[in-house]
Amino acid sequence: MKDMTECHERLRGIFNITVTPFDTQGAIDFVALRENIERVIGLGYDGILIGGTYGEFPVMSLAERRSLFSEVMACVGDRIPVMLCSASADPRDVRELTALAGDLGGLPMVTPPFVSEITPAQIHAFFCEMAPLSKTGILIYNAPGIGITLSPDQLVQLADIPGVVGIKQGDLNPTAIDQIANRLGGRLRLFCASDLAFLGPMMCGFDGISTTNSGALPEIILATFRAVEQGDADTARSLHQLWYDYRALARQHGQPQLVKAAMALRGFNGGTVRAPLKPLSPEALAALTRVMTTLASDPRSGVTLAEGRIK
């Protein structure tokens, strides 16, 4: 993407949150990363998100994140839009990664600085500083998991900053979703940050979703989203219910861990997680295997399992 106008136009639909595959020595496995990116592009995903929370950016060095951005954009080119997470507790890193993401043709995704006792005025000043650094603009990620939740009133104020092209909303409180959809819809691109509960925001008028679990279940999540787009609520609801047991495990055991384990059961290479995260316990893996086997038995899911992975 070359500028903010093109970025805004293309920023819609279903974006795969691509896990960062780490090998057994802890290095980023770029071959596996490219395979996973090509899989979702081939299935028809509208975009991807790289190096986000579920891409485990907090445990990567600045140099690794630079390399991740460059490798991904070299792989993708201009085929689909790419969100590149430039969040950090250190504003110096945010500045560098935000500028790099825009220069590479991606869209930097920026969270508020996750430091204690930052005020709303300081958050506003932070985004005013970051937005001009990227020629493609920035996507504000309202991520309660970092300890800061931006209210709808704050988001309306931030929407006036030149260069803010979209909001990725992680607070899925129905009242907040309703306010954001009706106060900001049409001004900015609005993304639901969770595939665990995206039907409501999409029905309220959001422009798209980002989805981690599509690394493991790309077919069913894509089919669910397309049904919503086409106004087929019955099909969307039926498909979403189909993978409820998987979502329950994701909430219990953590999404990067579960997604990577489920990818392995399918023969996809998601690699392992980095400390402090740990791979699934044998008991959790057994529960996941049962859920994935049940999903694979239903032709609506599109799920197939790799031979020799199920014991």
Domain annotation for the chain: domains and CATH numbers? 4-241 (3.20.20.70)
Cβ-based burial of 229 (10 A; exposed 0-12, middle 13-18, buried ≥19): middle
Q: Using H for helix, E for strand and C for coil, what is the string for 63-108?
A: HHHHHHHHHHHHHHCCCCCEEEECCCCCHHHHHHHHHHHHHCCCEE
Terminal CA-CA length for the chain = 45
CB-CB contact of 50 with 72 (8 Å) = yes
pLDDT at residue 145 in the model: 86
C-alpha distances in Å from residue 91, one per residue of 113, 114, 143: 7, 10, 17
Provide the whole-model pTM: 0.96
Under-50 pLDDT residues of the chain = none
pLDDT at 96: 98
CA 193/CA 176 separation, integer angstroms: 13
HSE, CB side, 13 Å, CA atoms: give it for residue 141. Answer: 25
The model's pLDDT over 77-88, given as tens digits with 9 standing for 90+, comes to 999 999 999 999
pLDDT of 116: 82
Give residue 307's pLDDT: 80
The residue ranges of DSSP E strands in the chain, in sequence order, are 13-18, 47-50, 82-85, 107-110, 138-142, 164-169, 189-192, 208-211
Give the residue carrying structure tokens 């028809």.
44
